[in-house]
Amino acid sequence: MTKQTLSFQAEVAQLLHLVTHSLYSNKEIFLRELISNASDACDKLRFEAINDGGLYENDSELKVKVTFDKDAKTLTITDNGIGMSTQEAIDHLGTIAKSGTKDFVSKLSGDQKADSQLIGQFGVGFYSGFIVADKITVESRRAGMKVEEGVRWISGGAGNFEVEAITRPERGTSVILHLNDDAQDYASAWKVKGIINKYSDHISLPILMEKEEWKDGELINPSDEQGGRQPGGMVKTGEWETVNKANAIWARAKKDISQDEYNEFYKQISHDFEAPLAHTHNRVEGSTEYTQLLYIPGKAPMDLYNREKSAGVKLYVKRVFIMDDAEALLPTYLRFVKGVVDSSDLPLNVSRELLQESRDVKAIREGCTKRVLGMLEDLAKNDKLPEAAAPTEGVTDVVSAQDKAEAQANAGKYTKFYNEFGAVLKEGLGEDYANKDRIAKLLRFASSTTDTASVSFADYKARMKEGQEAIYFITADNAAAAKNSPQLEVFKKKGIEVLLMTDRVDEWALNYLQDFDGTPLQSVAKGAVDLGKLQDEAEKKAAEEAAETFKPMLAMLKEALKDKAEDVRVTTRLVDSPACLVVQDHGMSTQLARMLKQAGQAAPDMKPVLEVNAEHPLVKKLDGSVHFNDLAHILFDQALLAEGGLPADPAAYVKRVNALLV
Ligand code: ADP
Ligand code: MG
């Protein structure tokens, strides 16, 4: 066969033009693309050799070699993978086979600026070599073909390319980049090594470079290796060294990876010194294929609450590093998770924008979310040591020492997790509708009748009183304020447990959870208190009578407080306190409104309802008092103080109290 000149497919020519004109600000990606192709070629050979071992031609150590020649101005990437026949070189390097890329090219508008934004979303692959090279020579021989059946492919990246037959003893492919004037620094070991470390460390093949040493160079300035040596320069030693780590832990089989190795990898990617609480490692097959290795850290970072700076999952495509902090791979409320997702379906040049829209990414996100929730469920399940069963006669203890040690090691992990990340997990109630119920099961709270802060909704339900129809909770700034809130009085008296919610996000998050497992959630600070069946007939009757006789007084209070209170009513929820504030059923709590205002956000100006305890001496004193007006305002302001608020006019409040004291 003699030399033939062929034209690129029209789309290729278009793509080439775009690549060379728009990716110059991100030049170094070419190396990632070419190494990835070399790695793919080795994967393909490995696959074909399963059925035909002869393809290895007695050389089964697959590898990539990167060499450069400063004088010839070339950089060469060589692999001993599957190689290409002449026809394959023509087809694969002269046309675009992938439908995705074809679609993409057909969308090009010709408007340089718009097009260059588009290109970030597609893999540019082999053609990215033309970012740094004004000519590319490819020499290849397909595994199993004769030595004389090699091919040389040459192109300047314009409209056409040349192919000719060559004799090539080695199987595989060499891509020789003839570096253009702006890309001469890629003919240097430290530059190339740097790029390989950045993008290709986890390629499972070894990437080899020839060792260099200084020739007659005197070290003038030891702190400056590059500039400190004199002429003679770096010379090749003929020895080869592996410059990547060549170890993608997530691509290995689970059973071959020790706990220590998992922990070490976590520390490397998270910069954490402590071991993680848990990990999950899975290969997911199906319509979207990917591998996930995800970790739950033991400690929250300083900026956990910053929803902007989120995500700790790195994205790889076929073991080639694509980006850090790929926030599209997990919902924001799981931003504490660290790890790696390696997809085989995404293009190498995928951008953040594309990630947001990709259907594959959506499937990956759902899969990762499920796995993380599963990990948390396991931690929660094993948080407490199983109670030792009383020994039964005739039955031997089947729990092995190993199981016991494992139980010991897992105990307390969920508590640790929850103390660090519980508040963030709660955001999921509002953010992840599909998994709301699973998240709700993972939540833990303090409660009015226990000392631990680890009550789950399920624990609570199991302890509910007969006739109790709701899960009661109260939100407050802190545990003490919650525990001593006047709204809790009647619940305390009746021995009904109330969950104390003191995280800032609680009220917002709880808005999204109307019920747990069929039982409605009820804030004790919202709406009129309705204890339903928990209240006996006598109590109900007494309350109704009190309300009736108190009516004229209520009218007067309403009038006196019309600027402050939406309504005034008699309540049965108070025992020791004279009054408290509640909000209408669907209103925002006064506490949340206060929080929003502090954060400089708009909060609806809602007036609360004042509820009074008709049995309280202070309230009784109102009747016919000459200080009626002052007492009414004091009643209101104290109710506000009791829940951690401040009277609108503190000075007026003090004046009124002092007047009475005197
Ligand atoms: P992709 O890798 O996504 O298929 P590329 O543009 O990177 O797209 O490569 C185009 C094709 O060229 C590859 O699919 C492969 O068939 C062929 N090719 C590229 N590099 C090599 C190589 N080093 N060895 C064998 N075939 C290769
Ligand atoms: Mg490729």
Q: What pLDDT, in 10s, does the model give residues 600-643?
A: 777 666 788 899 988 899 888 888 888 899 999 999 999 988 87
Please tell me the distance between residue 93's alpha carbon and the centre of ligand 1 in angstroms.
Answer: 7
Instruction: Determine contact, residues 557/568, Cβ cutoff 8 Å.
Output: yes
Residue nearest to atom 16 of ligand 1 (CA): 92
- pLDDT band for position 528 (cuts 50, 70, 90): low
Q: Which of 77, 75, 83, 90 is nearest to 3 (CA)?
A: 90
Instruction: Determine contact, residues 325/311, Cβ cutoff 8 Å.
Output: yes
State the SS3 of 7-48.
ECCHHHHHHHHHHHHHCHHHCCHHHHHHHHHHHHHHHHHHHH
Q: Any idea what DSSP says for residue 468?
A: -
Q: What atom in ligand 1 is closest to the CA of residue 77?
A: 23
pLDDT digits (tens, 9 = 90+) for 168-184: 999 999 999 999 999 99
Residue positions counted in the chain? 662
Please tell me the distance between residue 548's alpha carbon and the centre of ligand 2 in angstroms.
Answer: 82
Q: Which CATH number fits the domain that encloses residue 373?
A: 3.30.230.80
pLDDT at 49: 86
Looking up tokens 């909000």 gives 583
Q: What atom in ligand 1 is closest to the CA of residue 348?
A: 3
Q: What is the mean pLDDT of residues 501-511?
A: 88
Please tell me the distance between residue 124's alpha carbon and the centre of ligand 2 in angstroms.
Answer: 8
Rounded to 5 degrees, what are φ and ψ at 241?
-130, 150
Pocket of ligand 1 (CB under 6 A): 33, 37-38, 40-41, 79, 81-84, 92-93, 123, 125-126, 173
Residue 203 inside a domain? The answer is yes
Residue 225 inside a domain? The answer is no
Residue 392 inside a domain? The answer is no
Residue 422 inside a domain? The answer is no
HSE (side-chain half, CA atoms, 13 Å) at 163: 20
- pLDDT band for position 121 (cuts 50, 70, 90): very low
Please tell me the distance between residue 174's alpha carbon and the centre of ligand 1 in angstroms.
Answer: 12
Task: Report the chain's mean pLDDT, rounded to a whole number.
Answer: 85
Residue 358 inside a domain? The answer is yes
pLDDT top residue among 18 and 307: 18
Q: What atom in ligand 1 is closest to the CA of residue 127?
A: 6
Q: Is a pLDDT exceeding 60 seen at residue 197?
A: yes
Looking up tokens 């976590």 gives 266
d(CA 662, CA 643): 27
Ligand number, closest to the Cα atom of 171: 1
Question: Ligand 1 pocket check: which of 92, 163, 318, 350 to mutate, most ligand atoms within 8 Å of Cβ?
Answer: 92
Rounded to 5 degrees, what are φ and ψ at 627?
-95, 20
Q: Is a pLDDT exceeding 70 seen at residue 83?
A: yes
d(CA 629, CA 632): 5
Ligand number, closest to the Cα atom of 93: 1
Cα-trace Rg, the chain: 36
238 and 292 inside one domain: no
Q: In percent, how much of the chain has pLDDT > 90?
A: 44
Please tell me the distance between residue 37's alpha carbon and the centre of ligand 1 in angstroms.
Answer: 5
Q: Which residues contact 76 (CB under 8 A, 6 or more apart)?
A: 65, 66, 67, 68, 69, 174, 175, 176, 177
Please tell me the distance between residue 425's alpha carbon and the centre of ligand 1 in angstroms.
Answer: 43
Neighbours of 314 (CB within 10 A): 20
Instruction: Determine contact, residues 231/214, Cβ cutoff 8 Å.
Output: no
Instruction: Determine contact, residues 217/230, Cβ cutoff 8 Å.
Output: yes
Rounded to 5 degrees, what are φ and ψ at 612?
-115, 150
Q: Which of 578, 539, 530 is nearest to 557 (CA)?
A: 578
Q: In percent, how much of the chain has pLDDT > 70?
A: 86
pLDDT digits (tens, 9 = 90+) for 337-365: 999 999 988 887 777 788 888 889 999 99
Neighbours of 364 (CB within 10 A): 27
Instruction: Determine contact, residues 330/369, Cβ cutoff 8 Å.
Output: yes
Residue 431 inside a domain? The answer is no
Q: Which residues contact 429 (CB under 8 A, 6 or more apart)?
A: 436, 439, 440, 509, 510, 512, 513
Q: Which of 87, 138, 101 is nearest to 19 (CA)?
A: 101
Residue nearest to atom 1 of ligand 1 (CA): 125
Q: Which residues contact 206 (CB under 8 A, 6 or more apart)?
A: 63, 64, 242, 244, 246
Ligand number, closest to the Cα atom of 77: 1
Residue nearest to atom 20 of ligand 1 (CA): 37
Residue nearest to atom 8 of ligand 1 (CA): 125
Please tell me the distance between residue 128's alpha carbon and the centre of ligand 1 in angstroms.
Answer: 12
Question: Tell me, what amino acid is at 533?
Answer: K
Ligand number, closest to the Cα atom of 97: 1
* End-to-end Cα separation, the chain, in angstroms: 116
Ligand number, closest to the Cα atom of 172: 1
Instruction: Determine contact, residues 591/601, Cβ cutoff 8 Å.
Output: no
Residue nearest to atom 5 of ligand 1 (CA): 125
Residue nearest to atom 18 of ligand 1 (CA): 37
148 and 267 inside one domain: no
Ligand number, closest to the Cα atom of 80: 1
- pLDDT band for position 231 (cuts 50, 70, 90): low
State the SS3 of 190-223.
HHHHHHHHHHHCCCCCCEEEEEEEECCCCCCCCC
Instruction: Determine contact, residues 208/63, Cβ cutoff 8 Å.
Output: yes
Please tell me the distance between residue 38's alpha carbon and the centre of ligand 2 in angstroms.
Answer: 8
Q: Cα–Cα distances in Å, from 125 out to 12, 31, 101, 180, 187?
A: 12, 10, 10, 19, 21
541 and 604 inside one domain: yes
562 and 625 inside one domain: yes
Q: Which CATH number fits the domain that encloses residue 474?
A: 3.40.50.11260
Residue nearest to atom 3 of ligand 1 (CA): 125
Instruction: Determine contact, residues 321/199, Cβ cutoff 8 Å.
Output: yes
Residue 418 inside a domain? The answer is no
320 and 198 inside one domain: no
Among 359, 381, 403, where does a domain finish? 381
pLDDT digits (tens, 9 = 90+) for 529-588: 667 667 777 777 877 887 788 888 899 999 999 999 989 988 888 888 999 988 876 666
- pLDDT band for position 294 (cuts 50, 70, 90): very high
Residue nearest to atom 7 of ligand 1 (CA): 125
Of 39-48, 89-98, 394-403, 439-448, highest mean pLDDT: 439-448
Please tell me the distance between residue 92's alpha carbon and the centre of ligand 1 in angstroms.
Answer: 7
Please tell me the distance between residue 30's alpha carbon and the centre of ligand 2 in angstroms.
Answer: 10
270 and 372 inside one domain: yes
Edge to edge, the sheet with strand 567-570 lists: 567-570, 609-612, 579-582
Please tell me the distance between residue 130's alpha carbon and the centre of ligand 1 in angstroms.
Answer: 15
Q: Is a pLDDT exceeding 80 seen at residue 462?
A: yes
Q: What atom in ligand 1 is closest to the CA of residue 38?
A: 23
Rounded to 5 degrees, what are φ and ψ at 609?
-100, 135
pLDDT at 393: 63
179 and 274 inside one domain: no
Count of domains in the chain? 3
Beta strands in 44-166 (DSSP E): 64-69, 74-79, 133-141, 150-155, 160-166
Residue nearest to atom 12 of ligand 1 (CA): 92
Residue 67 inside a domain? The answer is yes
139 and 276 inside one domain: no
Of 109-118, 318-327, 342-351, highest mean pLDDT: 342-351
Please tell me the distance between residue 142's alpha carbon and the centre of ligand 1 in angstroms.
Answer: 13
Among 381, 407, 434, where does a domain finish? 381
Q: Which CATH number fits the domain that encloses residue 124?
A: 3.30.565.10
Domain that holds residue 565: 444-661
Residue nearest to atom 23 of ligand 1 (CA): 38
209 and 286 inside one domain: no
641 and 512 inside one domain: yes
Please tell me the distance between residue 614's alpha carbon and the centre of ligand 2 in angstroms.
Answer: 79
161 and 271 inside one domain: no
Among 381, 407, 427, where does a domain finish? 381
Q: Is a pLDDT exceeding 60 seen at residue 122?
A: no
Rounded to 5 degrees, what are φ and ψ at 33?
-65, -45
pLDDT digits (tens, 9 = 90+) for 383-433: 988 776 555 666 556 667 888 888 888 999 999 999 999 999 999 999 999
Looking up tokens 């080869």 gives 240
Q: What atom in ligand 1 is closest to the CA of residue 123?
A: 3
Instruction: Return the minimum-mean-pLDDT range out of 165-169, 218-222, 293-297, 524-528.
Output: 218-222
Neighbours of 295 (CB within 10 A): 29
Residue nearest to atom 14 of ligand 1 (CA): 92
pLDDT at 1: 60
212 and 265 inside one domain: no
- Tokens representing residue 141 in the block: 């021989």
